[in-house]
Chain A
């Protein structure tokens, strides 16, 4: 069938029309090979402009459309849908950028801009002739979610989804639910027991008819894509396969145990905040002289981040110790106090009121532990305010340490192809705009697995991840763009570069039968996960990978159409 192209050049108000001579470009476009009509419009994106295109498609029986206007980032979807409305396959449409790539960058050179506009339109017409009709991909979404990690974030996400009617598989590697919160006796700022928070939540989850809890279970592997994941779980010697539509990662973090710092591991009475809570379990009687050292292993060269809430944790334990022993001397040696927000500022004030002594030390002159045998007897610190060293007698030394990434983080990152940031925690898709999801569709993150977070934020993130996971499950289908990459298995040399480079984990190995009958492993692109970024095409050394909508043939044709004319002019 003959190609019949319609070219629509936009003035874009004065953005294009004020610099490029649009009527001249339209005249030129009319004479291009295969062009049957060329029009100009003031605002092609307006309802007027759109209906004009539809009319022309019908009138001239167009089977290819080129719109030369602004940037595809604004209106590509709009123009594509417009073609579809007129009965033309929406992928037989090409967008030429005469604004950002022409009029806006050549504002002083009107003649040059007009010539360039003609070249760009010619290139667009050349490419559109080579485009083929494509269909959007739609796949069903299984209405089930797997939540990895049964801490406070995972439990919150689990309950939210279950209450909405989705099936949730809660996978927890320990034999109890609750995560890090289980080891904590009381939570700030109310100082209520952590069991008050956890027990009702755990009970609701265990009893819920939509939740299947898998304790002592680990995730061995995950295959698939959004809407259709297959997870392999391992419990003891048995493995099990689970089919889910979305996944929420809430594997949490662990407290840093600072071996070698300040006598930790060497002296009996040096411990971290969590060790302290576990050892004394709220019975702090008899501890009359406590010194806490903050920022141990945090805000240092090897770990530059701040633990966020460990200052408050220390204060909480200090206040509780003071309540148990009113005459006790409790000192907190800190580098700065992080107590943001009115709730924590008031908590800090309460700690000051209780008579807890805050002494600031500098990172260059850290406190010194003075021990005798296997106990620490005194702590020496340079008090900046009085300008000399002071020595404090101690019964116990508490080291306030930050949370560090959980031990499973790296392995899970490999299994599920989800990214890990510089500090070893999971990395979200965008810090501000997409805080609870990964670049790979269908996988979400909540809680301390992402960065050290305090309880109310963990719960909020659990809710947020659940809300985002519910979207594809509620819609029941995911629709993805047809401009995806495709591999020619004949040419694939199985080097694996595309698999490694794909940021979305959309490429994987597969077995393929050659025409000769032998079976070999080649790469395969999952079109539902592919975002059409083209990195794989650029990385393929064998030329086996091509990108639909930006194929090698199409791009090279565009290039030769420009080179041809300039060589003629020269």
Chain B
């Protein structure tokens, strides 16, 4: 699809997102990437997801978004675990973790919510859906999975209700 074919409103939105992404890139030093590959080497995605797809790696994301970001409706942007290993090892000072978090916040604000998990009680953003799915698989416990699916604040305020859902508790007789 050529750029001229897109709806002008969408075009305007794309322009806005691009400008903000560019400023995020500048702020987090993404343009200093030397393509040394250290980030991809230390990234734990392989262990966590069982496979490593290059398209989701820090280098690929940086390259895709740097000069001509096209697709923002991209699941590959929601695989990163934001664990900070890449930021720690980068010799050029690229802060990919901060960038990922800020990028996701930007995408959510612009309405690209498909790949994100929200708290069923208050609606705040918790984590990427992919990450949650993997937790459920690896932890092998649906109940724990359910616990994770609620945001920390709601967990503390509505704790008892959640607990009832998760494990049955004897009801105390009323005094």
Residues of A within 8 A of B (CB): 337, 349, 352-353, 355, 357-358, 360, 383, 385-387, 390
Contact yes or no, B63 A353, CB < 8 A = no
Contact of A352 with B32 at beta-carbon distance under 8 Å, contacts A357-B67, A387-B54 already known: yes
Contact yes or no, A352 B31, CB < 8 A = yes
Minimal Cβ-Cβ distance residue in B for A358: B35
Contact yes or no, A385 B32, CB < 8 A = no
Contact yes or no, B60 A385, CB < 8 A = yes
Contact yes or no, B63 A386, CB < 8 A = yes
Chain B hits for A337, CB < 8 A: 34
Q: How far is the CB of A511 from chain B (nearest CB, A)?
A: 67
Subset of 14 A-B contacts with CB under 8 Å: A337-B34, A349-B32, A352-B31, A353-B32, A355-B31, A357-B67, A360-B35, A385-B60, A385-B63, A386-B60, A386-B64, A387-B54, A387-B55, A390-B68
Q: How far is the CB of A71 from chain B (nearest CB, A)?
A: 50
Q: How far is the CB of A295 from chain B (nearest CB, A)?
A: 16
Residues of B within 8 A of A (CB): 31-35, 54-55, 59-60, 63-64, 66-68, 92
- In the assembled complex, the Cα of A386 lies from the Cα of B56 at a distance in Å of 11
Chain A hits for B64, CB < 8 A: 386
Chain A hits for B55, CB < 8 A: 387
Minimal Cβ-Cβ distance residue in A for B68: A390
- In the assembled complex, the Cα of A355 lies from the Cα of B66 at a distance in Å of 10
Minimal Cβ-Cβ distance residue in B for A339: B34
Chain A hits for B35, CB < 8 A: 358, 360, 385
- In the assembled complex, the Cα of A355 lies from the Cα of B33 at a distance in Å of 12
Contact yes or no, B31 A383, CB < 8 A = no
- In the assembled complex, the Cα of A358 lies from the Cα of B62 at a distance in Å of 13
Chain A hits for B67, CB < 8 A: 357
Chain A hits for B32, CB < 8 A: 349, 352-353
Chain A hits for B59, CB < 8 A: 385
- In the assembled complex, the Cα of A390 lies from the Cα of B68 at a distance in Å of 11
- In the assembled complex, the Cα of A385 lies from the Cα of B34 at a distance in Å of 12
Chain A hits for B33, CB < 8 A: 352
- In the assembled complex, the Cα of A446 lies from the Cα of B34 at a distance in Å of 34
Minimal Cβ-Cβ distance residue in B for A349: B32
- In the assembled complex, the Cα of A353 lies from the Cα of B60 at a distance in Å of 19
- In the assembled complex, the Cα of A442 lies from the Cα of B55 at a distance in Å of 62
Q: How far is the CB of B111 from chain A (nearest CB, A)?
A: 25
Q: How far is the CB of A307 from chain B (nearest CB, A)?
A: 20
- In the assembled complex, the Cα of A499 lies from the Cα of B59 at a distance in Å of 62
Chain B hits for A386, CB < 8 A: 60, 63-64
- In the assembled complex, the Cα of A383 lies from the Cα of B60 at a distance in Å of 11
- In the assembled complex, the Cα of A353 lies from the Cα of B93 at a distance in Å of 12
- In the assembled complex, the Cα of A352 lies from the Cα of B29 at a distance in Å of 10
Q: How far is the CB of B55 from chain A (nearest CB, A)?
A: 8
Q: How far is the CB of A372 from chain B (nearest CB, A)?
A: 19
Minimal Cβ-Cβ distance residue in B for A383: B63
Q: Which residue of the partner chain, among B31, B34, B54, B66, contacts A353 with CB atoms under 8 Å?
A: B31
Q: How far is the CB of B61 from chain A (nearest CB, A)?
A: 10
- In the assembled complex, the Cα of A296 lies from the Cα of B56 at a distance in Å of 33
Chain B hits for A357, CB < 8 A: 66-67
- In the assembled complex, the Cα of A293 lies from the Cα of B135 at a distance in Å of 47
Minimal Cβ-Cβ distance residue in A for B25: A355
| Interface-centre pick from A353, A358, A385, A390 (highest chain B CB count, 10 A) | A385
Chain B hits for A355, CB < 8 A: 31
- In the assembled complex, the Cα of A337 lies from the Cα of B34 at a distance in Å of 9
Minimal Cβ-Cβ distance residue in B for A329: B67
- In the assembled complex, the Cα of A385 lies from the Cα of B39 at a distance in Å of 14
- In the assembled complex, the Cα of A353 lies from the Cα of B32 at a distance in Å of 7
Minimal Cβ-Cβ distance residue in A for B64: A386
Chain A hits for B63, CB < 8 A: 383, 385-386
- In the assembled complex, the Cα of A390 lies from the Cα of B67 at a distance in Å of 12
- In the assembled complex, the Cα of A387 lies from the Cα of B76 at a distance in Å of 15
- In the assembled complex, the Cα of A383 lies from the Cα of B59 at a distance in Å of 13
- In the assembled complex, the Cα of A385 lies from the Cα of B62 at a distance in Å of 10
Chain A hits for B34, CB < 8 A: 337
Minimal Cβ-Cβ distance residue in B for A354: B31
Q: How far is the CB of B69 from chain A (nearest CB, A)?
A: 12
Minimal Cβ-Cβ distance residue in A for B57: A385
Minimal Cβ-Cβ distance residue in A for B32: A352
- In the assembled complex, the Cα of A482 lies from the Cα of B130 at a distance in Å of 86
Chain B hits for A383, CB < 8 A: 63
- In the assembled complex, the Cα of A387 lies from the Cα of B66 at a distance in Å of 15
Q: How far is the CB of A561 from chain B (nearest CB, A)?
A: 69
Minimal Cβ-Cβ distance residue in B for A385: B63
A355-B31, A385-B59 provided; 4 other pairs, C-beta below 8 A? A349-B32, A383-B63, A386-B63, A386-B64
Q: How far is the CB of B171 from chain A (nearest CB, A)?
A: 59
- In the assembled complex, the Cα of A358 lies from the Cα of B32 at a distance in Å of 10
Minimal Cβ-Cβ distance residue in A for B67: A357
Minimal Cβ-Cβ distance residue in A for B35: A360
Q: How far is the CB of B38 from chain A (nearest CB, A)?
A: 15
- In the assembled complex, the Cα of A357 lies from the Cα of B33 at a distance in Å of 11
Q: Which 7 A-B pairs have the closest CB atoms?
A: A385-B63, A352-B32, A352-B31, A357-B67, A386-B63, A386-B64, A385-B60
Q: How far is the CB of A506 from chain B (nearest CB, A)?
A: 52
Q: How far is the CB of B74 from chain A (nearest CB, A)?
A: 12
- In the assembled complex, the Cα of A337 lies from the Cα of B59 at a distance in Å of 17
Q: How far is the CB of A348 from chain B (nearest CB, A)?
A: 8
Chain B hits for A358, CB < 8 A: 35
Q: How far is the CB of B12 from chain A (nearest CB, A)?
A: 19
- In the assembled complex, the Cα of A426 lies from the Cα of B64 at a distance in Å of 46
Chain A hits for B66, CB < 8 A: 357
| Interface-centre pick from B64, B67, B92 (highest chain A CB count, 10 A) | B67
Q: How far is the CB of A481 from chain B (nearest CB, A)?
A: 55
- In the assembled complex, the Cα of A385 lies from the Cα of B64 at a distance in Å of 8
Q: How far is the CB of B94 from chain A (nearest CB, A)?
A: 11
Chain B hits for A385, CB < 8 A: 35, 59-60, 63
- In the assembled complex, the Cα of A217 lies from the Cα of B55 at a distance in Å of 62
Minimal Cβ-Cβ distance residue in B for A387: B54
Q: How far is the CB of A59 from chain B (nearest CB, A)?
A: 75
- In the assembled complex, the Cα of A352 lies from the Cα of B34 at a distance in Å of 9
